[in-house]
Structure 1
Amino acid sequence: MKRILKELYGSGILFFYFFKWPFFIVFPYLYNNGLNNNYILNILWFFMAGLILKDFYMLFKDRGS
């Protein structure tokens, strides 16, 4: 069970690491061109925006030290 959780955690990290920028950029385009209001995708977009803001925060925080 512990091995399965580690694999899920690792795959989730890889998924969100490589998926956040394409989803963050493409989703507003799709939304403005006829994508219906989907609450799960909206929440996922805000989550990706938070991850991107966290990356910028960590970049500047580490650079300032």
Structure 2
Amino acid sequence: MKKILRELYGSGILFFYFFKWPYFLIFPYLYNNGLDNNYLLNILWFFTAGLIFKDFYHMYKNSGS
């Protein structure tokens, strides 16, 4: 069971590492051009926005030291 959770965690990290910027930029374009309202996709967009905000926060916090 621990091995499965580790693999899911690792694949999630890779997925969001490579997926957050394209999804963050393309989703608003698709939404404004006829994509139906889907709550799961909206939550995923806010999650990727939070991850991007976290990256900028850590970059700002570490550069000021």
Tell me the CA shift for residue 35 of structure 1: 0.2
Structure 1 residue runs of 5 or longer lacking an equivalent are: none
User: Corresponding residue for 1:32?
Assistant: 32
Tell me the CA shift for residue 46 of structure 1: 0.5
Scaled by the length of structure 1, what TM-score is found?
A: 0.97
Instruction: Output aligned runs, 1:1-65, within 5 Å.
Output: 1-65=1-65
- C-alpha distance in 2 between matches for 1:8 and 1:20: 17
Scaled by the length of structure 2, what TM-score is found?
A: 0.97
Moved segments of 4+, more than 3 Å: none
Instruction: Give the 3-state SS of the residue equivalent to 1:14 in structure 2.
Output: helix
CA RMSD of aligned residues (A): 0.5
- C-alpha distance in 1 between matches for 2:2 and 2:39: 32
Give % identity.
78
Structure 2 residue runs of 5 or longer lacking an equivalent are: none
Instruction: Give the 3-state SS of the residue equivalent to 1:26 in structure 2.
Output: helix
Provide the aligned length of Structure 1 versus Structure 2.
65
